[in-house]
Structure 1
Amino acid sequence: MYGTIAVKLIIGMLGVLFFLRLSGKAQMAQITPLDTVNAFVIGALVGGVIYNPDMDVWHLIFALAVWTFFNMLIRYSLRFKIMRKIIKGDTVYIVKNGVLNMKVFRRNGLEMEQFRTLLCEKGIFSMFDVDDVRFETNGKLTVSVHNDLSESYLLINNGSILESSLENANRKEEWLIKELQKLGFEDISQLFCVEWTPRKGFYIVSRDGEIQNGGVTLIPDNEKTEISA
Structure 2
Amino acid sequence: MYGDIALKLIIGMLGVLFFLRVSGKAQMAQITPLDTVSAFVIGALVGGVIYNPDMDAWHLVYALALWTLFNLLIRYSMRSRFLRRLIKGDSVYIVRNGALNLKVFRRNLLEMEQLRTLLRSKGIFSMFDVDDVRFETNGEVTVSTKGETAESYLLVNNGSILPSSLNNAGHDEKWLTERLDRLGFREIGNLYCVEWTPAKGFYIVSKDGKIQNGNVAMTSDSVRDDISA
Same fold judged by TM-score > 0.5? Answer: yes
Question: Which residue pairs with 1:48 in the alignment?
Answer: 48
Partners of 1:134 and 1:34 in 2: CA distance: 20
- For the Cα contact (< 8 Å) 1:27–1:35, is it kept in 2? no
Give the residue type in structure 1 aligned to 2:74: I
How far does the alpha carbon of each residue in 1:2-35 deviate from its partner, in whole angstroms, 9 at most, with x for none? 1111100000000000001111136522100000
In 2: Cα distance, 1:138 partner to 1:16 partner = 21
Runs of 4 or more, structure 1, over 3 Å off, are 222-225
Which residues of structure 1 form unaligned runs of 5+? none
Structure 2 CA distance for partners of 1:177 and 1:118, relative to 1, 3 Å? same
Q: Matched residue of 2:195: which SS?
A: strand
Deviation at 1:150, TM superposition (A): 3.0
Q: Distance in 1 between matches of 2:97 and 2:88?
A: 26
CA distance in 2, matches of 1:152, 1:25: 25
Root-mean-square deviation (CA), in Å?
A: 1.5
Q: Aligned equivalents of 2:27 and 2:183: distance in 1?
A: 33
Q: Residues of 2 paired with 1:29 and 1:206: CA distance?
A: 27
Partner of 2:13: 13
1:113 aligns with 2:113: yes
Normalised TM-score (structure 2)? 0.94
In structure 2, C-alpha distance between the alignment counterparts of 1:76 and 1:37, rounded to whole Å: 17
Partner of 1:90, secondary structure, is coil
Tell me the alpha carbon deviations over residues 59-104 of structure 1, each in whole angstroms, 9 at most, x when there is no partner.
1000000000000000011111000010001111100111111122
2:84 matches 1:84 = yes
1:123-142 to structure 2, matched below 5 A, reads 123-142=123-142
Q: Which residue of 1 aligns with 2:209?
A: 209
In the other structure, the counterpart of 1:101 is 101
Q: Following the alignment from structure 1 to structure 2, what is the Cα–Cα distance between the partners of residues 213 and 122?
A: 30
1:58 matched residue in structure 2 = 58
Shift of 1:223: 8.6
Residue 210 of structure 1 and its aligned partner are, at CA, apart by 2.4
SS at match of 1:147: coil
Contact 2:20 2:26 in 1 (8 A): no
Distance in 2 between residues matched to 1:224 and 1:92, nearest whole Å: 34
Could you say which residue in structure 2 is the equivalent of 1:156?
156
Mapped to 1, the partners of 2:218 and 2:115 lie a distance apart of: 40
Which amino acid counterpart does residue 3 of structure 1 have in structure 2? Answer: G
- For residues 32 and 84 of structure 2, what CA distance do their matches in structure 1 show? 12
CA distance 1:224–1:90, change in 2 (3 Å) = closer
Quick one: distance in 2 between partners of 1:97 and 1:161? Answer: 24
